[in-house]
């Protein structure tokens, strides 16, 4: 069996399985996927250095070997804060109004991808399978090939691939896609992203794609597929039995004093639809004043990418909105919104989810959204809560038994909240068991296996 070399910008160096933080779905999923295979995880340490040396910090933790490098401050500014998070992230989440196209960002992005390639290449062995992750590293495969890598190299995009009419606003869009086509296998979260990418290749590059979603490109055989990511079901359920999870559940149940709890758990990111969600909850309280004393909305939102202005703004906006709604609706002994800017251990999240009647997940765009799946997994089968889910999360196509809402519409969210609060036990059980089946079957292990098998399997096909 070949060794698996996983590459991503962010590498989670575990501080123990219960560690708290806001690392996002990629780190959570890859940590789990790697524990299952004897692999190496390569990426940025999250630290800065005055001069890039390419020295690696190797660690072995929890069965996973991590190899990380430090980057220079200019790299971090142009590559991570710049091209990745001020250009690609907003564009790929259809926020073209926030996307900034700056030459320095593009240069920094190329430079850091080159630095990744330069450091990673000597570490690889000829029969390693190399699996590159996410929008920070689109050009890495091409950079490795230029250095002579003949390995099977796969790429998985954790965020949506945008529609063609938006994507073409990116300067040098064609160059970016041509570098992506250097991979042997390109994975997306859902069919919509896959279609968007294929349509671009057909219309803009004039490429022919077969019914099997493969194409011949510059003498190589390249395959495109959707591989919806999942949670580490077994690990999450195991954590749910812990003292920490039970204690967290008790904290919410006791302090909510019988009120019906709505929970949101998101990185503080404009793609998560948080201001729209707060407005919808405000409207719910205005429209149904009799429900104010019977409801508690807990929003956990740890800060993310705080060097980027749009992330600082969203934080201010939310503080204002939470303050306004609480100011208008609170009593001396009752506050309807608890807004918390910190991370929690995953076991604690399990307890919070379990104590909540409603899981409110309303991103404006999301590659998948693992929180939706975690909420489902944490429910009590005898008295499950209701998932309210945005139609624009990748998870929506996998979880149709949720109450699917339009996150831009306050009315749509309000109606779903009422329906969820009033939903009879039998209907809750029915919907939940359908959701649970999908969450269990499409877990992170299934995702990893499907991708790796496709990456290996496609190798058997004739090249060129
Ligand atoms: P994204 O990757 O965009 O952040 P996902 O919903 O796919 O969104 O993944 C988020 C992951 O981060 C989930 O596994 C979730 O449990 C975790 N997470 C989110 N907020 C917190 C928090 N406050 N504390 C700890 N973990 C969090
Ligand atoms: C999303 C992205 C990941 C990223 C995570 C957290 O899940 O797809 O690539 O790691 O957000 O963001 P951060 O910028 O803190 O790594």
Write out the CATH class of domain 4-226: alpha beta
What is the SS3 assignment for the chain?
CCCEEEEEEECCCCCCCCCCCCCHHHHHHHHHHHHCCCEEEEEEEEEECCCCCCCCEEEEECCEEEEEEEECHHHHHHHHHHHHHHHHHHHHCCCCCCCCCCHHHHHHHHHHHHHHHHHHHHHCCCCCEEEEECHHHCCHHHHHHHCCCCCEEEEECCCCCCCHHHHCCCCCHHHHHHHHCCCCEEEECCHHHHHHHHHHHHHHHCCCCCCCCEEEECCEEEEEEECCCCCCHHHHHHHHCCHHHHHHHHHHHHHHCCCEEEEEECCCCHHHCHHHHHHHHHHHHHHCHHHHHHEEEEEECCCCCCCCHHHHHHHHHHHHHHHHHHHHHCECCECCEEEECCCCCHHHHHHHHHCCCEEEECCCCECCCHHHHHHHHCCCCCCCCEEEEECCECHHHHCCCCEEECCCCHHHHHHHHHHHHHCCHHHHHHHHHHHHHHHHHCCHHHHHHHHHHHHHHHHHCCCC
The closest residue, in CA terms, to atom 19 on ligand 1 is 266
Residue to mutate, 265, 269, 338, 393, ligand 1, most ligand atoms under 8 Å from C-beta:
265
Q: Decide: 200 and 165 in contact? Cβ < 8 Å.
A: no
State the pLDDT confidence band at 33, using cuts at 50, 70 and 90: confident
Q: Decide: 380 and 351 in contact? Cβ < 8 Å.
A: no
Q: Is 62 a catalytic residue?
A: no
Q: In the chain, list all ranges with CATH 3.40.50.2000.
A: 4-226, 233-441
Atom of ligand 2 nearest to the CA of 135: 9
State the pLDDT confidence band at 240, using cuts at 50, 70 and 90: very high
Q: Which of 93, 133, 136, 158 is catalytic?
A: 158
Atom of ligand 2 nearest to the CA of 84: 14
Q: Is 408 a catalytic residue?
A: no
Residue 329 CA to ligand 2 center (angstroms) comes to 35
233-441: CATH topology is Rossmann fold (3.40.50)
Say whether the ipTM exceeds 0.95. Answer: yes
Rounded to whole angstroms, what are the CA distances from 101 to 114, 161, 461?
20, 18, 39
Task: Determine the pLDDT at residue 13.
Answer: 62
Higher pLDDT, 23 or 65: 65
Residue 267 CA: which ligand is closest? 1
Of 275, 253, 250, nearest to 264 (Cα)?
275
Residue to mutate, 80, 134, 135, 272, ligand 2, most ligand atoms under 8 Å from C-beta:
134
Q: What is the mean pLDDT of residues 371-395?
A: 98
Task: Determine the pLDDT at residue 68.
Answer: 96
Task: Determine the pLDDT at residue 58.
Answer: 93
Q: What is the pLDDT of residues 243-300, one digit of tens each?
A: 999 999 999 999 999 999 999 999 999 999 999 999 999 999 999 999 999 999 999 9
Residues with Cβ within 8 Å of residue 422, at least 6 apart in sequence: none
| 371 pocket-lining for ligand 2 (C-beta < 6 Å) | no
Residues with Cβ within 8 Å of residue 363, at least 6 apart in sequence: 266, 271, 272, 273, 369, 390, 392, 393, 407
The closest residue, in CA terms, to atom 15 on ligand 2 is 23
Q: What is the mean pLDDT of residues 94-107?
A: 97
CB-based burial of residue 168 (10 Å sphere; 0-12 exposed, 13-18 middle, 19+ buried)? middle
Task: Determine the pLDDT at residue 29.
Answer: 77
Q: Please give the model's pTM, rounded to 2 decimal places.
A: 0.96
Atom of ligand 1 nearest to the CA of 265: 20
Atom of ligand 1 nearest to the CA of 345: 25
Residue 414 CA to ligand 1 center (angstroms) comes to 24
Distance of CA 363 to the CA centre of its chain: 11
Around ligand 1, the residues with Cβ closer than 6 Å are 20-22, 24-26, 28, 265, 267, 300, 302, 343-344, 346, 349, 368-371, 374
Residue 25 CA to ligand 2 center (angstroms) comes to 7
Residue 363 CA: which ligand is closest? 1
138 half-sphere exposure, CB direction, 13 A CA radius: 21
Task: Determine the pLDDT at residue 17.
Answer: 41
Residue 10 CA to ligand 1 center (angstroms) comes to 14
Q: Decide: 189 and 229 in contact? Cβ < 8 Å.
A: yes
Residue 198 CA to ligand 1 center (angstroms) comes to 29
| 394 pocket-lining for ligand 2 (C-beta < 6 Å) | no
pLDDT higher than threshold 50 for residue 460? no
| 326 pocket-lining for ligand 2 (C-beta < 6 Å) | no
Q: Which of 75, 366, 443, 458 is catalytic?
A: 366
Atom of ligand 1 nearest to the CA of 344: 24
């Amino acid at each position: 069996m070949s060794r698996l070399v996983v590459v991503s910008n962010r590498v989670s160096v575990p501080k123990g399985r219960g560690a708290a933080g806001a690392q996002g779905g990629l780190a959570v999923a890859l940590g789990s996927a790697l524990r299952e295979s004897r692999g190496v995880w390569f990426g940025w340490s999250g630290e800065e250095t005055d001069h890039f040396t390419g020295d690696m910090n190797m660690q072995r933790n929890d069965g996973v070997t991590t190899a990380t490098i430090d980057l220079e401050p200019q790299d971090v500014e142009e590559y991570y804060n710049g091209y990745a998070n001020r250009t690609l992230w907003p564009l790929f989440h259809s926020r073209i109004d926030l996307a900034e196209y700056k030459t320095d960002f593009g240069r920094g992005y190329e430079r850091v991808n080159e630095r990744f390639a330069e450091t990673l290449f000597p570490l690889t062995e000829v029969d390693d399978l190399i699996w590159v992750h996410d929008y920070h590293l689109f050009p890495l495969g091409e950079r490795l090939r230029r250095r002579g890598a003949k390995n099977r190299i796969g790429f998985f995009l954790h965020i949506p691939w945008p529609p063609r009419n938006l994507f073409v606003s990116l300067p040098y869009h064609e160059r970016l896609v041509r570098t992506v086509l250097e991979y042997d296998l390109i994975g997306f979260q859902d069919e919509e992203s896959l279609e968007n990418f294929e349509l671009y290749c057909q219309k803009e590059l004039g490429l022919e794609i077969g019914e099997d979603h493969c194409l011949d490109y510059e003498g190589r055989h390249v395959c495109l597929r959707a591989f919806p990511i999942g949670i580490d079901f077994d690990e999450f359920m195991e954590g749910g039995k812990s003292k920490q999870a039970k204690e967290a559940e008790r904290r919410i149940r006791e302090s909510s004093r019988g009120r019906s709890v709505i929970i949101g758990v998101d990185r503080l990111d404009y793609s998560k639809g948080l201001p729209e969600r707060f407005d919808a909850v405000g409207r719910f309280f205005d429209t149904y004043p009799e429900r104010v004393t019977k409801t508690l909305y807990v929003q956990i939102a740890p800060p993310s990418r705080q060097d980027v202005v749009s992330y600082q703004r969203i934080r201010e906006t939310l503080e204002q909105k939470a303050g306004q709604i609480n100011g208008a609706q609170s009593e001396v002994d009752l506050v309807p919104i608890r807004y918390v800017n910190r991370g929690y251990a995953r076991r604690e999240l399990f307890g919070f989810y379990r104590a909540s009647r409603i899981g409110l997940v309303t991103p404006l765009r999301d590659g998948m959204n693992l929180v939706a799946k975690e909420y489902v997994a944490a429910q009590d089968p005898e008295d499950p809560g209701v998932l309210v889910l945005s139609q624009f999360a990748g998870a929506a196509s996998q979880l149709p038994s949720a109450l699917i809402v339009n996150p831009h519409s306050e009315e749509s969210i309000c109606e779903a909240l009422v329906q969820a609060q009033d939903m009879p036990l039998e209907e809750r059980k029915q919907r939940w068991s359908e959701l649970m089946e999908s969450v269990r079957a499409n877990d992170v292990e299934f995702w990893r296996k499907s991708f790796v098998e496709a990456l290996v399997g496609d190798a058997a096909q004739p090249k060129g």
